[in-house]
Amino acid sequence: MSRAAPLTFVLRSMSLNSVSVRNIKSRSRVFPLFILGGYSKSAVICRCLGSNTYHKLCIANKIAKTRLMTKTPSSSAQLHIDTKHMDSLSRVKRVSIEGNIAVGKSTFARLLQSQNQDWEVAQEPISKWQSVESTSSQAVGSAQPTVSNLLQMMYQDPQRWSYTFQTFSCMSRMRTQLQPPPARLLYAQGTPVQVFERSVYSDRYIFALNMFELGCISAVEWAVYQDWHSFLLEQFGHRAQLEGIIYLQAPPETCMARLRKRGRGEERGVQLTYLEKLHVQHENWLVNKSTELHFEHLKQVPVLTVDASVEFERDPEVQERLITQVQTFFSGL
């Protein structure tokens, strides 16, 4: 068959009538993909479609036990999909660690990572916020980009930079949550879990909401933020949904002491009153359940509240107790 010969791929599924498929970019030509039994949607798919790309297509649209083939069953281009691999992906649980600034999320995340190879931690993308590259509109093509510390800018002038920061932080969290799990989790013997330091949900219902209530985000900015946040999760939410939340709970005074101890430069101006407000936001969402949520599945996500007021970094006994709590929680997801 010549390289330019057209190919039409047909997706067959026992229970599928239609599916919404986005454009898929690849290194080769694109060809139409039709849905048997529906034809309500169409997409483009490459001739060189690999199994990994196809798995992502299936997962993104929740297709189970499907087969991709050419119109000619005898064609050598027929592809059989490893449904076991797809089932393995669905086994991976997604959990976020939530809590106040300096409550000990990173320390707790490292503890989880060290205890079980079936648990994979995705760190909070702080480094992205500390080095945002930009180029002046006045610069010529050869100009070097400017690197800005958006986290520091937000703390120094929250009235000016809170909306910009929350927009960028939410997008970076979304990218993190949309990343597929590492291959080793797909073949885990126990309960494979992807653990995220915070989530796109705490970005909205803790930090952005808090900045709005403090007057650092205007009513118009808050309306815009909520609108695009809801839209993004309507489009990609099924890929970013959580099966569980671990809430590290500690008094604001404890968090303040830890914040001072770690000495992160951007946080020098953080006051106890700010941590107290964030504590209230966490309690309202995860304990009192009084925060207005806009996603039905989020209202049903189980929450494990962990006492993070005790020092656990160098206490094996406390660590063992915490790990037992987490293991029990993960097993029930």
Q: How confident is the model at residue 137 (pLDDT cuts 50, 70, 90)?
A: low
Q: How confident is the model at residue 140 (pLDDT cuts 50, 70, 90)?
A: low
* pTM over cut 0.75: no
Euclidean distance between CA atoms 159 and 221, whole angstroms: 11
Are residues 176 and 50 part of one domain? no
8-12, 36-40, 64-68, range with the lowest pLDDT: 36-40
Are residues 274 and 144 part of one domain? yes
SS3 280: helix
49-53, 57-61, 76-80, 123-127, range with the lowest pLDDT: 76-80
Which of residues 32, 55, 86 is at a domain's end?
A: 86
Full residue range of the structural domain in which residue 156 is found = 92-331
Average pLDDT, the chain: 79
Counting runs of H as helices and runs of E as strands, what totals does the chain give?
14, 11
Mean pLDDT over residues 173-188, rounded?
A: 88
Tokens 């049903």, residue?
Answer: 300
User: What is the reported pLDDT for 5?
Assistant: 36
Mean pLDDT over residues 103-115, rounded?
A: 94
Q: How confident is the model at residue 181 (pLDDT cuts 50, 70, 90)?
A: confident
- Which active-site residues does the annotation give? 197
Whether 106 shows a pLDDT value over 80: the answer reads yes
The answer as to whether 191 is a domain residue is yes
Distance set, CA 143 to CA 133, 138, 281 (Å): 12, 10, 43
**How many domains does one find in the chain?**
2
The answer as to whether 108 is a domain residue is yes
Are residues 167 and 315 part of one domain? yes
Q: 10 versus 170: which is more confidently predicted?
A: 170
Mean pLDDT over residues 270-290, rounded?
A: 98
Burial string for 115-148 (b: 16+ CB within 10 Å, else e) reads ebebbbbbbbbeebbbebeeeeeeeeeeeeeeee
Q: How confident is the model at residue 133 (pLDDT cuts 50, 70, 90)?
A: confident
44-58, 171-185, 268-282, range with the lowest pLDDT: 44-58
Beta carbons of 306 and 325 less than 8 angstroms apart:
yes
Token pair for residue 275?
């941590």
Are residues 255 and 123 part of one domain? yes
Mean pLDDT over residues 13-28, rounded?
A: 36
Which of residues 52, 67, 86 is at a domain's end?
A: 86
Euclidean distance between CA atoms 110 and 112, whole angstroms: 5
Euclidean distance between CA atoms 98 and 102, whole angstroms: 11
The answer as to whether 257 is a domain residue is yes
Which of residues 33, 63, 86 is at a domain's end?
A: 86
Beta carbons of 112 and 121 less than 8 angstroms apart:
yes
Mean pLDDT over residues 247-275, rounded?
A: 96
The answer as to whether 2 is a domain residue is no
Whether 185 shows a pLDDT value over 60: the answer reads yes
Are residues 271 and 144 part of one domain? yes
User: What is the reported pLDDT for 183?
Assistant: 84
